[in-house]
């Protein structure tokens, strides 16, 4: 299996622009997680989905952030408008709830907002 | 309040020696899970080991073992026979259940381990 795929790997954008991060989970996994990692705040869970349904979005920082999972093989995290403080590495992870507790992480998207 | 505390920002260990990375947690739940992840300099997050709160035996995965002391609320990671490739950042994490029934995942601030040749 290819593992969790994230795109783009790096994104540099200007403040105010819309940013869309993409994730393809491992085939057959039924949970998907979006995390953000910064030096100041460490690793934070933003939102997670079970069977494509958002279960807990209490970690989403504010209304500028939104996440969707239109089907089992694709999810997006959108920031509109972006701000410099959104600069971070964003990880997507997937998990098969019925088999193990292990979350498989993607390689991350490094976002820089100037 | 910090739910996951990793008090060692950095650790050194000699190759082939064992090392213990500390983790304490805070929860009022009876059912929870504890994880350790490794993050090498390349940036990816790699799952190492899991311990459920009801598991009576300490979890082991190859050279990794989790020293689970429930009464003390500690879940230390022990790496035996350290290798140069073990040099990385290590994160302790907890999964606890919210009153709403959803799960909350909390990560510690990490411990940077450097294995010396």
The yes-or-no verdict on residue A54 having pLDDT over 70 is: yes
Per-residue pLDDT of chain B (117 residues; tens, 9 = 90+): 569 999 999 999 999 999 999 999 999 888 899 999 999 999 999 999 999 999 989 999 999 999 999 999 999 999 999 999 999 999 999 998 877 778 889 999 999 999 999
Question: Which pLDDT score is estimated for B102?
Answer: 81
Chain A nearest-CA distance from B102, in A, is 7
Are A78 and A18 in contact by the 8 Å Cβ rule? The answer is: yes
Q: Which two tokens stand for residue A17?
A: 């622009």
Q: Which residues of B touch A42 (CB under 8 A)?
A: 107-110
A11-20 pLDDT tens trace: 999 999 999 9
Are A10 and A110 in contact by the 8 Å Cβ rule? The answer is: yes
The yes-or-no verdict on residue A24 having pLDDT over 90 is: yes
**What does the radius of gyration of chain B's CA atoms come to, in whole angstroms?**
14
With CB atoms and an 8 Å threshold, state whether B47 touches A56.
Answer: no
Q: CA separation (Å) from B23 to A102, A103, B35, B91?
A: 19, 19, 10, 9
For residue B102, how many other CB atoms are within 10 A of its CB? 13
Question: Which pLDDT score is estimated for B1?
Answer: 59
With CB atoms and an 8 Å threshold, state whether B104 touches A45.
Answer: yes
- 3-state SS assignment for residue A52: coil
- 3-state SS assignment for residue B99: coil
* Total count of residues recorded for chain A: 114
Q: Which residues of A touch B46 (CB under 8 A)?
A: 105
Band of the pLDDT at A1, cuts 50, 70, 90?
low
């Amino acid at each position: 299996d290819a593992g969790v795929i994230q795109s783009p790997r790096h994104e540099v954008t200007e403040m105010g622009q819309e940013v869309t991060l993409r994730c393809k989970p491992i085939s057959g996994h039924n949970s998907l997680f979006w995390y953000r990692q910064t030096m100041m705040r460490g690793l934070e869970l933003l939102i997670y989905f079970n069977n494509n349904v958002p279960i807990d979005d209490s970690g989403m920082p504010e209304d500028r952030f939104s996440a969707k999972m239109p089907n089992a093989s694709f999810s997006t995290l959108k920031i509109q408008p972006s701000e410099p403080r959104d600069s971070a590495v964003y990880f997507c992870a997937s998990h098969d709830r019925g088999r193990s507790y292990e979350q498989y992480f993607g390689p991350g998207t490094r976002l820089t907002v100037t | 309040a910090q739910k996951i505390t990793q008090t060692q920002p950095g650790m050194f260990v000699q190759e082939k020696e064992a090392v213990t990375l500390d983790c304490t947690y805070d929860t009022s739940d009876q059912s929870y899970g504890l994880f350790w992840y490794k993050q090498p300099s390349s940036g990816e997050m790699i799952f190492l080991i899991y311990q459920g709160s009801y598991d009576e035996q300490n979890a082991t995965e190859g050279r990794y073992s989790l020293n689970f002391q429930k009464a003390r609320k500690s879940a230390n990671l022990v790496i035996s026979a350290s290798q140069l490739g073990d040099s990385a950042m290590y994160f302790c994490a907890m999964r606890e259940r919210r009153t709403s029934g959803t799960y909350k995942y909390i990560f510690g601030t990490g411990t940077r381990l450097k294995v010396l040749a």
